Chains A and B, each alone.
Chain A
Amino acid sequence: MSLIDVLILIAFAVTGFLLNLIPFTRKFRLNYLLIASIGIIFWLQPGLPIRGLDFWLPTATILIAALGWWLTSRAQDRDLRATLLTSLQIAAEVLIIALTRYFSSSGVITPSRPPQLYLVVILLAVSGVIFYWLSRTRETRSTFLAAAIFALIMLFVGLKLPALTQWVSSALRGLTGQSRELASALDIRWLGYSYIAFRLIHTLRDRQTGHLPAMRLDEYLVYMLFFPSFNAGPIDRAERFISQLRTAETPSPRQLEAGLSRLVVGLFKKFVLADTLALIALNGTNAYQIEGLGWYWLLLYAYSFQIFFDFSGYTDLAIGMGLLLGIRLPENFNHPYLKPNLTRFWDSWHMSLTQWFRAYFFNPVTRFLRTKARSLPAWVVILITQLATMTLIGLWHGITLNFVFWGIWHGLGLFINNRWSNATRQLAARIKARPWLDHGLTVFSTLLTFHYVALGWVWFALPDPTTSLRVFTGLLGGVGAP
């Protein structure tokens, strides 16, 4: 997102804050959040070469989210009138966005000209009928929920696997009468799908286990599409989010101060620090140009801090906007590079993602292995779960070999850290009794952890193992350096 994009989002958040100040307009808080969030996902969707796709993908996001609500809501909690009103509101907004095709030959809100109106009307009408019919049905079966989770994961794989994405692109190009030969994996960039998939799986899974609170359609959609966190997180939990959404209090000056402070910090981190570091950060091109050991390390450090400031800057912006809108989003970073071991690093880096994986993958798999595969020694269970969890987190960033290696790097690191902590527990207790030694060791282990993480970025930042191995060789002053 550009600075202008972010400033426009902040303007929406400030407008939300002002609306909340006045008792009369505060009543429309939810409507405002829904309308703004829907408009923003159309506006932020990157332009795509396949005709109409940059309109259909945000529309699909809304439809998938609505379907998620149907799957997760209990029949007795569904308020048909409220659902109808929300649906009409959404349909009207999508229709208005589609109508902008008559105002410009390019896009007004959307990145390119929206598709022909009759197609949008047909889609809305068919979706409306199906949705109305679904709303009147009884409880959804657990198998439906499981199937939906599976479908979301498959869709995710389809979007992240370049070969598959290219095939889909080719098929879509065939449908729109465009050249199939120009199909590319970059043709299908679906804004926010990674994050919306996490939120959907979270609600589907919590519905299965009976932990999900009852929500109206508009509340559920605002949770799914909340514009400050739609594109880059944090991934909030539904129950936490909804309880704050329902608390409509007059915003306080402290809330304004807290929100604006986070925004200033976020803007500085993202647009001053991260964007400056990006100019000198390690990447697939300069990996082959660097001359000298010291420069390899400098560019790697630059990347390490660039990715941190970029991501934590976006988190600050999301939290700041959330505060202005009366929603305290969860923290995502807690000084991760100052942690003395890898376990604590992962407790403080992209926290909402790691908590999600812990809740929906690591813990269930650990429980499963401990109950169903009792013959396995504890260390094997730890090794399997750490490797599997971190590899999945790697694959979430993209289905490439390098992300797999990055996941394995951290999985192994966490496993070694776990074993080391276990083996040295008594020694650690004795060291604690000597503060100077404890302090010295903390500094050393913090540096060690940081460097382990930084070296892990060599997998993450570069496109393929060959390039990564070249950089590793360069970092060691080896023959890989030109």
Chain B
Amino acid sequence: MSYRFLRNVFVKGLLLFFVFNLIWAACNGNRINQLSLYNHLLRGRERFPYGENPAQSYNLSLSDLDAMFASHVLAGTPKSSHEFRVIVIGDSSIWGTLLHPEDTLVGVLNARHLTAPDGRSMQFYNLGYPTMSLVKDLMVLDQAMQFAPDLILWSITLESFPRANQLTSPIVAQNPARVNALIDRYDLDLTPLEESTSFWQQTIVAQRRPLADWLRLQVYGVMWSATGVDQTYPDDFTPALRDLEPDLDYQGWVPPEIPSDALALDVLSAGMQMAAEVPVILVNEPMLVSEGKNSDIRYNYYYPRWVYDQYRQILGATCEAEGWTCLDLWDAVPQEFFTNSAIHRSPQGEQLFALRLIESGILP
């Protein structure tokens, strides 16, 4: 053995790595994210992967929508002729922060074994994701349409509407190709994201983060399957604020009126177009209506009264004008049934929400 031999080994190794990268990029190897151990060796997740503390929640946040869907139980459940499939999209309140899967709205609705008028059994799927942006919902819906839903339940709140915030959440910002395609397809009033489509971006080196996330997602699937845990459930948490600041400002908007075009209603409209023949129910989700200090000025931490009242008016008028099916349940849940945020409900809050939804008669 000589140093020359070692040098040659090193150079050949580098060369092989380089060639392997090129082959990977040329074959679009990052499609590996569509492969999943979930729904095959491992139990499909009942809600999307999301988590800040993977070691304890056996879950992680990633931006790869293909991998997220592949891990979801929806992807592993063939639709039978007896199933009436309902997908539920929305924010963290639908995903179920601090709630076990069976305590979320979807869990509660499934436990009620509802039946559609044609006799099919209604099966609800939780496609909520803990960021507030209608574009994020649209992105999820776009992917979810391939699973042939019979009904879409779209849970919304004002915080998801400000146009300026549509593209700022990580999952949206890290999916520029998908987002730009949606902007283009539905002519949305949003500035397209910067997109890098170079060949080098497809190599293993450039894709190392998504690949590592994909791999970790598969590994944490073992723990999800073994324990049924997909988030941390602290014994103690800071409850949502009841005593509020006398602040009228919302997103830089000041009374008396929400600036024109500040709400991304065109994104909502795009969702309706996307759903096409599939019925959509828009639900203005229950929020904490505080009775504490300055509650005459604000409903809760998020919303001053003036802005939320106007939002409800605008939403109601738009639903009526466009002929959308809408249900306003903004005050359906009393304040004692909220946990660590003005939109996160306790298990009892979810039961109430589900009950009001069913009692409204809006479900088929």
Contact = CB atoms under 8 A, between A and B. Distances in A.
A443 interface: no
A177 interface: no
A279 B2 CA distance: 41
Q: By DSSP majority rule, is chain A's interface helix, strand, loop, or mixed? A: helix
Nearest to A290: B226
A253 B2 contact: yes
B1 A254 contact: yes
A260 B54 CA distance: 33
B1 A291 contact: no
A286 B226 contact: yes
Interface in B220-242: 220, 222-223, 225-229
Interface in B331-351: none
Contact of A253 (B5, B54, B55): B5
A289 B229 contact: yes
B56 interface: yes
A299 B6 contact: no
B216 interface: yes
B215 to A, nearest CB: 8
A285 B55 CA distance: 10
Nearest to A288: B227
Nearest to B216: A279
B219 A280 contact: yes
A252 B5 CA distance: 12
A257 B227 CA distance: 45
A244 interface: no
B227 A298 contact: no
Interface in A251-281: 252-254, 256-257, 260, 276, 279-280
A290 B227 contact: yes
Contacts of B6: 253, 256-257, 260
Contacts of B2: 253
Nearest to A276: B219
B222 A298 contact: yes
**Most chain A CB atoms below 10 A, which of B54, B56, B219:** B219
Contacts of A291: 226-228
A260 B225 CA distance: 39
B220 A279 contact: yes
B226 A279 contact: no
Nearest to A292: B226
Contacts of A144: none
A279 B216 CA distance: 9
A291 B225 CA distance: 8
A437 B337 CA distance: 68
Interface string A359-372: 00000000000000
Given A256-B6, A257-B6, A291-B228, A286 B223 contact: yes
A320 B225 CA distance: 38
Nearest to B227: A289
A223 B216 CA distance: 40
A295 interface: yes
Interface string B187-229: 0000000000000000000000000000110011011011111
Q: How large is the interface on B (under 10, 10 to 19, 20 to 34, 35 or more residues)?
A: 10 to 19
Contacts of A295: 225-227
Contacts of B55: 279
A257 B215 CA distance: 31
Contact of B227 (A253, A286, A302): A286
A289 to B, nearest CB: 4
Contacts of A302: 222
A256 B5 CA distance: 11
Interface string B45-74: 000000000111000000000000000000
A463 to B, nearest CB: 16
Contact of A280 (B3, B56, B215, B223): B223
B3 A253 contact: yes
Contacts of A292: 226
B226 A298 contact: yes
Interface string B151-190: 0000000000000000000000000000000000000000
Contacts of B229: 289
Nearest to A283: B55
Contacts of A253: 1-3, 5-6
Contacts of B227: 286, 289-291, 295
B56 to A, nearest CB: 7
**Most chain A CB atoms below 10 A, which of B2, B220, B223:** B223
A260 B222 CA distance: 34
Contacts of A252: 1
Contacts of A276: 215, 219
B226 A299 contact: yes
A160 B55 CA distance: 26
A402 B28 CA distance: 51
Contacts of B219: 276, 279-280
Contacts of B226: 280, 286, 289-292, 295, 298-299
A253 B5 CA distance: 9
A410 B227 CA distance: 30
A279 B221 CA distance: 10
A347 to B, nearest CB: 32
Interface in B226-267: 226-229
A93 B214 CA distance: 46
A299 B227 CA distance: 11
**Most chain A CB atoms below 10 A, which of B2, B227, B229:** B227
Given A285-B56, A289-B229, A291-B228, A279 B5 contact: no
Contacts of A299: 226
A192 to B, nearest CB: 26
B12 to A, nearest CB: 14
A23 B312 CA distance: 83
B89 to A, nearest CB: 29
A297 to B, nearest CB: 10
A252 B225 CA distance: 51
A280 B1 CA distance: 42
Interface in A84-116: none
Nearest to A296: B226
Interface string A297-311: 011001000000000
A290 B216 CA distance: 19
A133 to B, nearest CB: 50
Nearest to B219: A279
A28 to B, nearest CB: 22
A299 B220 CA distance: 12
A474 to B, nearest CB: 11
B71 to A, nearest CB: 15
Nearest to B5: A253
Contacts of B1: 252-254, 257
B2 to A, nearest CB: 5
Interface string A149-190: 000000000000000000000000000000000000000000
A254 B2 CA distance: 7
A257 B6 CA distance: 7
Contacts of B220: 279-280
A280 B54 CA distance: 11
10 contacts: A257-B1, A257-B6, A276-B215, A279-B220, A280-B222, A289-B229, A291-B226, A295-B225, A295-B226, A295-B227
Given A289-B229, A291-B227, 4 more contacts: A253-B3, A253-B6, A279-B216, A286-B223
Would you list the 4 A-B pairs with minimal beta carbon distance, nearest first?
A295-B226, A289-B227, A280-B222, A253-B1
